[in-house]
């Protein structure tokens, strides 16, 4: 049977059986002439399109395994049934086969392989080496131009921010060579103090070369020495009463601190490394990749490879790593969250690709393990957002209605959270979501007026809900319309939920369901407990998309609450933020300002950066860090 008649019957058991027989016949036909050497094979459909690309240490043995039908999962049985021809490439080693396999997968994108969908090249920073006054610029693609390349960075935004900060700190030009050669007066970059104007001779070649060397040293990981020198120069200028020069160095220190503020996480002694963590849920996988060069974090990016739902993290990660480095040079170290398949072979392949030794490791303890755990948490959050955004909103809302026994899918969900630090600057927050997603114009913040005891979350929640619904009743006594909630979600456990129910009852509101969402044991996301008045607490299935949606709502409320709290705290300008930290006297305050340039830069600094300041012990650094980043929920 051929053509349309066969296509019409492909779904019948007889057609599937005939397809499998035909596919097996095709595979068996190649076995007689296949060598027992390493190589790559392609399975093709009737149109000649690639179904699958695989590598083998022994081609004959590997292809023969497909004829053992009883050992194949359903996914591979479908692939075998669709196979109508095969192609083979013999290689000198299994390592070469692995590299060729990764290249062909990226080029052909076969249906049954794990596919890396985002394979864009990463941006770098280039300080050119073919001009007397080097240019600093963003670069993508082949490193064909003479100069020093720094990267990769996770995004163009990260490169742009870094270049802007480097210009402020080291006054390097970013104009093209043609623009440089035709200037007769300084451009705007000089006016805003981002360039030293070498185009018109305001700095000679030797002086500019010193600026270039300082920038290169900073990018190469010798940032402490550069910042220390700037700090000494600032103090010396101040002692000479040359406050204009001191201010310039202060601004340069601030610019360098701004770069470090975007580091997110740092690991001492990591050097050049990529850290990759995989997280699976709902039949999908997110792989979060951190880029470290010269010990500095150049950003992170999340990937969502296509793969069969039955494949575990190790299988997906192994295929991902091979494809990821197909067109880019691996760093000296690659840290992984799960043991990949054939790790020794993968290590050998990356070493060959890099033309130097590359270490693949799955850290079990220490700073590197904490880094992987951090990447894994980000992978989980990224996948949760993706599942929430890509799932049909109506289906999710119907799931919410089913989970909480609502009369129907809610059109307006209000989520409440509080934020404070040890009771200071308390703020309540409300976010709103519905069929169209988040309604950010409906978000509201509530500055707690009290009287409220420090840290009394129940009293804060009572005030927020009382103010919200008392006003709502005044404006809409009929309790209907688009501004009236169908569900109130509280970030908290039984206590907060009971307070919310009491407030609504006191106001005579009886038809608005209240649900509390609290993290499970050890605050483990994925084991949330839900609290409804008059009903036992319960949990949803860990892979339930509705759970991810509710987590997303809770996290958005938490983000908005923290942002509102920080904004309120920032308006308290009567004292320096550093003065608010217990145990920080004039000497330590001066050391912090010399190191970072400004109180805002201290607030953005990482724990490791704070520890590096003279006179700041680990305990004091932790106290400072927690003051700005600690438990605000």
CATH at residue 59: 3.40.1440.10
Neighbours of 62 (CB within 10 A): 17
| 198, 345: one domain | no
Q: Which residues pair with 85 in a beta bridge?
A: 44
Mean pLDDT of the chain, nearest integer: 83
Q: List Cβ neighbours of 384 (8 Å cut-off, separation of 6 or more).
A: 281, 548, 551, 552
**DSSP assignment of 528-596, as one string?**
-EEEETTEEEE---TT-HHHHHHHHHHHHHHHHHHHHHHHHHHT-TTS-GGGGSTT--HHHHHHHHHHH
pLDDT of residue 374 exceeding 50: yes
Query: Is residue 321 assigned to a domain?
Result: yes
Give the per-residue pLDDT at 310: 80
Give the per-residue pLDDT at 329: 86
- Domain finish residue from 208, 226, 261: 261
Q: List Cβ neighbours of 193 (8 Å cut-off, separation of 6 or more).
A: 168, 171, 248, 251
Give the per-residue pLDDT at 63: 93
The interaxial angle of helices 156-170 and 243-261, nearest 10 deg, is 160
The two beta strands, 284-293 and 514-518, are: unpaired
| 379, 414: one domain | no
The span from the CA of 561 to the CA of 552, in Å, is: 14
Give the per-residue pLDDT at 89: 92
CA dihedral sign, ordered 19, 25, 28, 29: negative
User: What are phi and psi for residue 312, nearest 5 degrees?
Assistant: -85, 180
Please give the average per-residue pLDDT across 579-608, as a whole number: 83
Please give the average per-residue pLDDT across 3-32, as a whole number: 66
Please give the average per-residue pLDDT across 217-221, as a whole number: 76
The span from the CA of 563 to the CA of 555, in Å, is: 12
pLDDT of residue 433 exceeding 70: yes
Q: What is the pLDDT of residues 225-248, one digit of tens each?
A: 777 777 787 888 788 887 877 877
Give the per-residue pLDDT at 522: 57
| 411, 531: one domain | yes
| 159, 301: one domain | no
pLDDT of residue 385 exceeding 70: yes
| 216, 321: one domain | no
- Calculate what percentage of the chain has a pLDDT beyond 90: 26
Give the per-residue pLDDT at 521: 63
Q: Is 54 exposed, middle or buried (0-12, 13-18, 19+ CB in 10 A)?
A: buried
Q: Which residues pair with 56 in a beta bridge?
A: 39
| 476, 437: one domain | yes
pTM: 0.52
| 138, 101: one domain | no
Closest CA to 333 of 295, 360, 367, 301: 360
- Domain finish residue from 570, 599, 614: 570
pLDDT of residue 12 exceeding 60: no
Please give the average per-residue pLDDT across 333-343, as a whole number: 91
Task: Note the maximum CA span of the chain.
Answer: 95
Q: Please report, for the domain that includes residue 564, its CATH number.
A: 3.30.420.340
Q: What is the pLDDT of residues 19-68, one digit of tens each?
A: 788 889 999 999 988 999 999 999 999 888 899 999 999 999 999 999 98
pLDDT band at 574 (very low <50, low <70, confident <90, very high): very low
pLDDT band at 286 (very low <50, low <70, confident <90, very high): very high
Query: Is residue 92 assigned to a domain?
Result: yes
Query: Is residue 70 assigned to a domain?
Result: yes
| 439, 417: one domain | yes
Q: Greater confidence, 247 or 259?
A: 247
| 378, 423: one domain | no
| 94, 143: one domain | no
pLDDT of residue 495 exceeding 80: yes
Q: What is the pLDDT of residues 105-141, one digit of tens each?
A: 988 889 898 888 665 677 888 999 888 899 999 888 7
Query: Is residue 282 assigned to a domain?
Result: yes
119, two tokens: 């394979």
The two beta strands, 444-447 and 514-518, are: unpaired
Q: Greater confidence, 547 or 282?
A: 547
Give the per-residue pLDDT at 418: 85
Q: What is the pLDDT of residues 501-558, one digit of tens each?
A: 999 999 888 889 999 999 866 555 667 899 998 889 999 988 788 998 899 899 999 8
Query: Is residue 625 assigned to a domain?
Result: no
Query: Is residue 225 assigned to a domain?
Result: yes
In terms of residue numbers, what domain contains 15? 3-108
The span from the CA of 120 to the CA of 461, in Å, is: 47
| 428, 549: one domain | yes
Query: Is residue 230 assigned to a domain?
Result: yes
pLDDT of residue 570 exceeding 70: no
| 416, 537: one domain | yes
Alpha helices, H only, 136-261: 156-170, 177-182, 188-191, 205-219, 223-239, 243-261
Please give the average per-residue pLDDT across 239-258, as a whole number: 76
Overall domain count for the chain? 4
The span from the CA of 168 to the CA of 166, in Å, is: 5
Give the per-residue pLDDT at 632: 43
Query: Is residue 73 assigned to a domain?
Result: yes
Give the per-residue pLDDT at 260: 59
pLDDT band at 5 (very low <50, low <70, confident <90, very high): very low
- The answer to whether 512 and 483 are in contact (CB under 8 A) is no
Q: List Cβ neighbours of 172 (8 Å cut-off, separation of 6 or more).
A: 127, 134, 135, 136, 166, 195, 196, 211, 212, 215
pLDDT band at 86 (very low <50, low <70, confident <90, very high): very high
**DSSP assignment of 182-199, as one string?**
H-SS--HHHHTTS---GG
- Domain finish residue from 210, 239, 261: 261
């Amino acid at each position: 049977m051929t053509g349309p008649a066969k296509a019409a019957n492909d779904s019948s058991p007889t057609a599937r059986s005939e397809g499998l027989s035909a596919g097996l016949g095709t595979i068996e036909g190649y076995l007689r002439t296949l060598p027992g050497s390493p190589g790559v094979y392609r399975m093709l459909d009737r149109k000649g399109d690639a179904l699958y690309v695989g590598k083998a240490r022994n081609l004959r043995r590997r292809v023969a395994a497909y004829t053992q039908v009883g050992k194949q999962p359903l996914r591979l049985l479908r692939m075998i049934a669709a196979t109508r021809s095969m192609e083979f490439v013999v290689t000198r080693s299994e390592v070469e086969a692995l590299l060729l396999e990764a290249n062909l997968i990226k080029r052909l994108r076969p249906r049954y392989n794990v596919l890396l969908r985002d394979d864009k090249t990463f941006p770098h920073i280039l300080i050119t080496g073919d001009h007397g006054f080097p240019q600093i610029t963003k670069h993508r693609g082949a490193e064909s131009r003479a100069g020093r390349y720094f990267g990769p960075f996770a995004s163009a935004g990260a490169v742009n921010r870094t270049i802007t900060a480097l210009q402020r700190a080291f006054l390097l030009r970013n104009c093209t060579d043609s623009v440089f050669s035709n200037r007769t007066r300084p451009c705007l970059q000089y006016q805003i103090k981002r360039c030293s104007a070498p185009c018109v001779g305001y700095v000679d070649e030797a002086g500019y070369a010193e600026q270039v060397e300082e920038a290169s040293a900073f990018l190469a990981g010798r940032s402490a020495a550069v910042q220390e020198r700037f700090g000494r120069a600032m103090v010396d200028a101040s002692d000479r009463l040359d406050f204009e020069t001191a201010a310039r160095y202060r601004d340069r220190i601030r610019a360098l601190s701004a770069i470090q503020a975007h580091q997110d996480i740092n690991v001492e002694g990591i050097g050049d490394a990529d850290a990759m963590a995989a997280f699976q849920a709902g039949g999908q996988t997110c792989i979060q990749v951190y880029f470290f060069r010269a010990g500095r974090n150049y950003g992170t990016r999340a990937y969502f490879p296509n793969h069969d739902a039955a494949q575990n993290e190790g299988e997906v990660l192994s295929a991902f790593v091979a494809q990821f480095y197909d067109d880019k040079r691996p760093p000296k170290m690659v840290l992984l969250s799960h043991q990949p398949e054939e790790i020794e072979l993968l290590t050998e392949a990356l070493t060959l690709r890099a033309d130097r030794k590359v270490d693949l490791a799955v850290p079990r303890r220490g700073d590197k393990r904490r880094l992987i755990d951090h990447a894994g948490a980000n992978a989980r959050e990224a996948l949760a957002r993706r599942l929430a955004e890509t799932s049909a909103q109506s289906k999710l809302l119907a799931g919410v209605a089913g989970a909480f026994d609502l009369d129907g899918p809610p059109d307006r969900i209000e989520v409440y959270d509080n934020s404070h630090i040890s009771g200071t600057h308390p703020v309540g927050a409300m976010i709103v979501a519905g069929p169209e997603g988040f309604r950010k114009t409906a978000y509201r913040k509530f500055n707690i007026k009290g009287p409220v005891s420090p840290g009394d979350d129940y009293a804060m929640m009572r005030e927020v809900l009382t103010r919200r619904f008392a006003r709502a009743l005044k404006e809409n006594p009929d309790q209907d319309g688009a501004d009236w909630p169908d569900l109130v979600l509280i970030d908290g456990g039984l206590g907060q939920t009971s307070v919310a129910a009491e407030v609504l009852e006191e106001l005579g509101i009886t038809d608005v369901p209240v649900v509390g969402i609290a993290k499970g044991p050890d605050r483990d996301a994925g084991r949330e407990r839900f609290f409804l008045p008059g009903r036992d607490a319960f949990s949803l299935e860990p892979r339930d998309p509705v759970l991810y949606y509710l987590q997303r709502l809770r996290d958005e409320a938490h983000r908005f609450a923290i942002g509102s709290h920080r904004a309120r705290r920032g308006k308290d300008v009567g004292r320096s933020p550093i003065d608010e930290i217990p145990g920080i006297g004039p000497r330590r305050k001066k050391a912090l300002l010399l190191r970072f340039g400004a109180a805002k830069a201290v607030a953005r600094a990482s724990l490791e950066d704070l520890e590096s300041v003279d006179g700041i012990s680990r305990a004091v650094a932790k106290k400072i860090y927690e003051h700005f980043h600690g438990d605000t929920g």
